[in-house]
Structure 1
Amino acid sequence: MIPYFRACAALAGVALIAGCASTPEGVAPRSNGWVKDEVSDSYVFGYPLVLMDISREAATGSAPGQAAPNTLRHAQSLPPVGASSPREPNLDTLGSSGWLDVSREPVLVALPDSHGRYMDARALDMWTNVVWSTAAKGNQRVSGLKSQTIAFVPVGWKGTLPARAQRVEVSTRYVWFLARIETRGGGDLASARRLQRGIRVAPLSAWDARGQRVAQADPQTGASLAGDPVATGAPAAQIAALDAKGFFDRLALALEDNAPEPDDAHALKILGDIGVQPGDPAQLPTGAKDAAVVNAGLADGRARVATPPSNLLAGNGWLWVGDDAGNYGADYALRGYAAYASPGLPTSRDEARARVAQDSDGHTLNGANRYVIHFSAKQLPPVRGFWSITAYTPDGALDDDAPVRVAFGDRNGARRNRDGSLDVQVSAERPRGGANWVPVPKGDFRLVLRMYAPKPQATDGTWQPPAVERQ
């Protein structure tokens, strides 16, 4: 499949270059203004693949925080503060993640019964599309995940899988697998860790006919490693440091093993326009004026992936991805922004994640002030699972100086008013009584509302979180 894809893309590029190599007599040469737009468009298109490829490279290996391919790494504690923490670290769950390589044979993942504890899992292809998740089959995750085995196989693979294994075809060589297990921290971590150890992953050749991983499998396949994984926020900084040649070289190399969708033919044509072919070093325009135009296109592409697109859901200052999360089709702007802002974003059936950085008057949230979020009795986050609110610095880190690191939500003994409404206190200092409190940094901050197993109204635009009101 991969050689065929590369050959087709290369032939398309040759045809395109041949068509542009000469200019009919009497027709003025085309200006290079198109280069900026096509470099920008190609950056937005390719950003998710480059991000995933850098993330995979950073996470796989034998160094601290890394794991071999087809191996899961289990976080053993809630995320720490500081530079080693991922962007917007999750304080509700323990995470397990690993990179699966399906180039030689299928890779199987077995999930245990969570016995009533909330647990979810998902797998992303190299373009950040969610190819499988626990929500896809309608599992009763609110009352616990049932045991199941998933087989990730290359498109067109023919062979026999263990009984009851669910077949999931993948068009890219690599798959990013993530699982999350609810925990309240402290002594509850031990129970979540036991569930982590029950997750098994290995290539098909390491499984027997009954669907069990063979005990004598290679220790580098199907192993479980304890310890915090490589921070997921670091690859974004590596991409930001790449110049145009470095970015498109990386994209071209990743394209060789990770084909885009058939509907992406026009995006491949544009890549060919600017000299990018799968598997080959990028041949960007090099004319006297082209370098400045290429750099301008790169800058424009960087700005676009960091800018919330117009089709995000919005309400009372909050922004979040709706029903298209994890399944972007040809909406490259939404896919690029989601990869930039929320690496590994689940589908809307798994989680909805809303952000706000301004109060109801449009002023930046700052810990020098006190705020309240008033949920009416009918405005509480609509979820089948649970919800939480966490405060972060503007760059998505936890506050180094916070007296406590908690995500406030409906699991924390939220005290409602007599009419069923709920007032959430948002401040740097603990409010009188200390109830319903979201601790925030003393400087500027943003809030993230996570809704696990959200109901449809949380992602179809019929529900909105209330505004953050300054007191």
Structure 2
Amino acid sequence: MTSRTDNLADLAADAYVYGYPLVFDVSMISAFMHKGFGSLPPTPFNRFGHSTKLATPDAHFVSVNNDTVYSIAQVDLSGGPVVLHVPDTAGVYYVLQFVDVWSNNFAYLGQRATGTEAGDWLVVPPGWAGAAPDGVRGVIDAPTAVISIVGRNACDGPQDMPRVRALQQQLTLTPLNQETHGTGLPKPEPDVSEKLRFFEQLRVWMAAYPPAGPDQEHQERFQPLGLLEEGPSPYVNADPTLVKALTEGAVSGKARVEAASKPPADDEHPPGAWEMNPHLFDYNLDHFGIGTINSPQWRIADRRASYLVRAAAARAALWGNHGYEAVYAHTFTDADGKQLNGSRSYSLRFEQPPPVESFWSVTMYSTPDYYLVDNPAGRYSLGDRTPGLVYAEDGSLTVVIQRERPDDLDGAANWLPAPEGDFRPMIRLYTPGQSVLDGTYQLPRIVARG
């Protein structure tokens, strides 16, 4: 016989999976505002924080890229719309990605989506019905009152930073109505115990930032967990039965998210094959603004299944782009199916360059945190824009992956440093070609040397 506690624990696990992206996303927004990320300084609402260099290992953010320079703004629209000014990048790749607090990508500006010329855009809160001022290129409707704008400017290395810095200074947010002010992030009850903290955060932030209608209907299932209660927290002096169910559910839900973030353990997955899912961010089913593609190809058909995909994407690649903007591929194993580890040396041979319209790269990350790997060479990624790479006469490129610098000059030129322990490299394909999106292009596997 199934007990009430078992039923509540199963429901709590579902709630954990469903709410993980919201809790993680808002937590990262708060961390950005108070601590910053690496070279991105702490930045208040409605201002851009700019990196002054390409990301390094001190940027403790999951799967941060080392190809572009970040400009990130956390935007509070509870006080009204803001005008976003975007400078002219003179044809050079950039993207501004708009993400709501449920981690849905709901709009894009940039080379692919809107071109690279200068312009003003009006960003408005949910339910806004005012008139846009003259001169704006378009209106961006935000699904939630707080959103993130994640900007990435292509940067070809330190020597390219002056150009990028000049562009960053022209990227601005201006309130449409100077007399109104936002309300900021609502604060969970501080007296809730640490083991129930996740569910308190979910309760408070779920009420503050309602999702789309179909998701709100799904949330009704969580009433027995206290997640829909308003006012004082139900978790300060919670019933022991509920505490037990929530605690067990959090453990189970976290395990589901972690498992979904790893490659499938089945015979159909070839050893060492890259996990390349152009549809990892297709869980946005309701909000399609400027620069997005609203078609069945880019929507997960099963809404309930989308919740686990969304959680896994947040866990491993928060604020990643849709596949039509950029595709991310990662692997944990070599061609023999063995875990990649810095105690061995590997090669990654590209017979021909990956099919992209913009550029590609391969970046090294540690596990289990997916942070950039510190190394004496200060090289965290390489790709088709890396100066000095050595190509073979047939046009192929062999990347050498190992902990120590190779002795031969060609190997040193093509060296991607690895950590001492396990690692997970990631390949990024910016504005990928159709063969990437339809799966006909296959990335080469990493081969152990010697």
Common fold, TM-score beyond 0.5?
A: yes
C-alpha contact 1:276 1:282 (8 A) present in aligned 2: no
Q: Bigger radius of gyration, 1 or 2?
A: 1
Q: CA deviation at 1:342?
A: 0.9
Seen in structure 2, the aligned counterparts of structure 1 residues 264 and 89 have a Cα distance that, compared at 3 Å, is closer
Query: Does the alignment pair 1:259 with 2:230?
Result: no
C-alpha contact 1:309 1:333 (8 A) present in aligned 2: no
Query: Does the alignment pair 1:292 with 2:244?
Result: yes
Which residue matches 2:296?
Answer: none
The 2-side partners of 1:57 and 1:242 are apart by 20
What are the residue-to-residue correspondences of 1:36-435 with 2, within 5 Å? 36-60=9-33, 65-82=41-58, 85-134=60-109, 138-140=113-115, 145-162=116-133, 163-205=135-177, 243-277=194-228, 279-281=230-232, 283=234, 289-308=241-260, 316-325=272-281, 327-329=283-285, 330=303, 331-377=306-352, 380-394=353-367, 395-413=369-387, 414-431=389-406, 432-433=408-409, 434-435=412-413
The 2-side partners of 1:184 and 1:79 are apart by 13
Which residue matches 2:297?
Answer: none
TM-score normalised per structure 1: 0.78
% identical aligned pairs:
27
The 1-side partners of 2:34 and 2:239 are apart by 40
Secondary structure of residue in 1 paired with 2:42: coil
* 5+ long unaligned stretches in structure 1: 1-27, 207-216, 222-240
The 2-side partners of 1:301 and 1:265 are apart by 20
Seen in structure 2, the aligned counterparts of structure 1 residues 97 and 126 have a Cα distance that, compared at 3 Å, is same
Secondary structure of residue in 2 paired with 1:392: coil
Q: CA deviation at 1:376?
A: 2.3
Seen in structure 2, the aligned counterparts of structure 1 residues 333 and 280 have a Cα distance that, compared at 3 Å, is farther
Instruction: String of CA shifts for 1:380-413, please: whole Å, max 9, x gaps.
Output: 3221111111112212233334333241101124
C-alpha contact 2:280 2:313 (8 A) present in aligned 1: no
Q: CA deviation at 1:76?
A: 0.7
The 2-side partners of 1:355 and 1:56 are apart by 25
Secondary structure of residue in 1 paired with 2:74: strand
Q: CA deviation at 1:134?
A: 2.3
The 2-side partners of 1:308 and 1:445 are apart by 18
Which residue matches 1:461?
Answer: 439
Count of residues paired in the alignment: 407
The 2-side partners of 1:336 and 1:29 are apart by 27
The 2-side partners of 1:267 and 1:44 are apart by 13
Q: CA deviation at 1:459?
A: 3.4
Q: CA deviation at 1:256?
A: 2.2
The 1-side partners of 2:413 and 2:21 are apart by 41
Instruction: String of CA shifts for 1:73-104, please: whole Å, max 9, x gaps.
Output: 1111223334x533333221111111111112
Seen in structure 2, the aligned counterparts of structure 1 residues 361 and 157 have a Cα distance that, compared at 3 Å, is same
C-alpha contact 2:362 2:427 (8 A) present in aligned 1: yes
The 2-side partners of 1:29 and 1:439 are apart by 52
The 2-side partners of 1:427 and 1:435 are apart by 13
Which residue identity lines up with residue 426 of structure 1 in the other structure? I
C-alpha contact 1:245 1:282 (8 A) present in aligned 2: no
C-alpha contact 2:64 2:371 (8 A) present in aligned 1: yes
Which residue matches 2:298?
Answer: none
Q: CA deviation at 1:149?
A: 2.3
Which residue identity lines up with residue 463 of structure 1 in the other structure? Y
* 5+ long unaligned stretches in structure 2: 183-191, 286-302
Which residue matches 2:416?
Answer: 438
Which residue identity lines up with residue 122 of structure 1 in the other structure? Q
Seen in structure 2, the aligned counterparts of structure 1 residues 464 and 191 have a Cα distance that, compared at 3 Å, is same
Which residue identity lines up with residue 152 of structure 1 in the other structure? V
Which residue matches 1:18?
Answer: none
Q: CA deviation at 1:116?
A: 2.7
Seen in structure 2, the aligned counterparts of structure 1 residues 349 and 392 have a Cα distance that, compared at 3 Å, is same
Secondary structure of residue in 2 paired with 1:132: strand
Which residue identity lines up with residue 423 of structure 2 in the other structure? F
Q: CA deviation at 1:67?
A: 1.6
C-alpha contact 1:254 1:279 (8 A) present in aligned 2: no
The 2-side partners of 1:166 and 1:136 are apart by 16
The 2-side partners of 1:314 and 1:127 are apart by 30
The 1-side partners of 2:136 and 2:239 are apart by 59
The 2-side partners of 1:62 and 1:366 are apart by 32
C-alpha contact 2:261 2:315 (8 A) present in aligned 1: no
The 2-side partners of 1:243 and 1:136 are apart by 44
